């Protein structure tokens, strides 16, 4: 045992291993546990899974699927989840459509220009996320700059209410998550050999066909990585709807937040989080598979 503890490799593996088990895996297990417990008045506001009967001293197991039954029976929760999914889907798609050509052209620029463009892409990424969302709040105000421009050109006469609706949320999400789409795409496209395009042209393929039959399939792993990096976090996004959204749509992140901080119903908040993980497990698995494939290729 002592020889194992002196082993360098042992510490290399097990220090992060234990840390992640303690502070990532066990907390998830606790959410799981609380999502199955019975809510009650007090602190903590739920009954422990295992209690002893005060009279007989016997163990009592307090497990309920009621929290799950509750959130799945109430359309309010399901609707918020669907809202988040549709937000994530729409904004991922828009990010892909905007991000792909940018990533492609940056990757295909001359090395010197490429470095400059890449840094220009990364600068907003390193700027505070919160401040970037806030910037749109400023822009979209009733007396904000966008309305001013539109009115000056006579396109509108009255200021539009651009803020506090789900379009503003989509805009905010696309804006803040665009780098997450562009960077993995760039990573693939920069390694992409331009001779493939020449070969496809040589074999008589037209531009459109070249794109769909050669470039797109070869950059597919980058597309998957980029889409997952946008889609999954956006499903749980809280800040952007809070700052830019209105009362027209409620989102998943906000619901968990409210359930926990406002209603103080920990079991329901946990059940929501757990079901969120369950719904996200498929995209997460896709992400991990494509990610590990990519790394194997590098070896």
Partner 1 sequence: MNKSFLKYILLGFGFAFLYFPIFTLIIYSFNESKRVMVWKGFSLKWYVELFKNEQILEAFYISIKIASISATFATLLGVMAGYSLARISKIPFRSFFIFISTAPLVMPEIILGLSLLLFFISANNLFGLPSSKGQLTVLISHITFSVAFVAVIIQARLSSFNKSIEEAAQDLGAVPNSVIWKVTLPVILPSIISGWLLAFTLSLDDLVIASFTTGPGANTLPIVVFSKVRMGLSPEVNALSAVIMLVIVTIAIGYYIKTRNKLDVN
Q: Which of residues 47-86 bind partner 1 (CB under 8 A)?
A: none
x/- map, 149-188, partner 1, by CB under 8 A: --------------------------x--x----------
- How far is 168 from 96, CA to CA, in rounded Å? 18
Nearer to partner 1, 138 or 160 (CB): 138
Decide: is 197 part of the binding site for partner 1 (CB under 8 A).
Answer: no
List phi, psi (to 5°) of 27. Answer: -55, -40
Residues paired with residue 59 on neighbouring β-strands, in sequence order: 52
Nearest Cα to Cα of residue 237 among 285, 177, 163, 281: 177
- CA-CA distance, 232 to 230, in Å (whole number)? 6
Q: Contacts with partner 1: how many residues (CB under 8 A)?
A: 88
Strands 59-61 and 50-52: what pairing?
antiparallel
Q: Does residue 240 belong to the site contacting partner 1 (CB under 8 A)?
A: no
Q: Binding partner 1 by CB under 8 A: which of 87, 170, 235, 271?
A: 235
Q: Identify residues 81-140 at the interface with partner 1 (CB under 8 A).
A: 98, 101-102, 105-106, 111-112, 115-117, 119-124, 126-132, 134-139
For the record, the structure tokens of 49 come out as: 């899974």
Scan residues 9-38 and list those touching partner 1 (CB under 8 A).
9, 11-13, 15-17, 19-21, 23-28, 30-31, 34
Tokens of 8: 């360098």
- Per CB under 8 A, the list member of 89, 93, 238, 264 interacting with partner 1 is 238
* Closest CB 25 distance from partner 1, rounded Å: 5
Residues 6+ apart with CB under 8 A from 89: 231
């Amino acid at each position: 045992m002592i020889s194992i503890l002196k082993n360098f490799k042992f510490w290399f593996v097990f220090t992060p291993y234990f840390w992640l088990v303690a502070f990532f895996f066990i907390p998830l297990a606790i959410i799981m546990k609380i999502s199955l417990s019975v809510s009650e008045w007090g602190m903590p506001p739920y009954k422990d899974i295992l209690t002893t009967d005060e009279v007989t001293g016997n163990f009592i197991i307090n497990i309920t699927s009621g929290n799950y039954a509750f959130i799945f029976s109430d359309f309010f929760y399901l609707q918020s989840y669907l809202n988040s999914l549709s937000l994530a889907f729409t904004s991922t798609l828009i990010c892909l459509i905007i991000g792909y050509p940018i990533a492609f052209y940056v990757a295909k620029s001359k090395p010197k220009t490429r470095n400059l463009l890449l840094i220009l892409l990364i600068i907003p990424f390193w700027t505070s996320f919160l401040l970037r969302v806030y910037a749109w709040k400023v822009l979209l105000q009733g007396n904000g700059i966008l309305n001013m421009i539109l009115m000056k050109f006579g396109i509108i006469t009255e200021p539009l209410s651009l803020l506090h609706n789900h379009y503003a949320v989509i805009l905010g999400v696309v804006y803040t998550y665009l780098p997450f789409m562009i960077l993995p795409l760039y990573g693939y496209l920069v390694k992409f050999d331009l001779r493939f395009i020449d070969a496809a042209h040589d074999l008589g393929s037209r531009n459109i066909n070249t794109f769909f039959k050669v470039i797109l399939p070869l950059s597919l792993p980058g597309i998957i990585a980029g889409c997952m990096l946008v889609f999954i976090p956006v499903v749980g996004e809280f800040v952007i709807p809070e700052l830019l959204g209105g009362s027209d749509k409620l989102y998943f992140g906000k619901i968990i937040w409210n359930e926990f901080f406002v209603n103080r119903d920990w079991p329901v908040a946990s059940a929501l989080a757990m079901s969120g993980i369950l719904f996200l497990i498929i995209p997460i698995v896709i992400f991990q598979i494509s990610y590990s494939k990519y790394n194997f290729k590098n070896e």
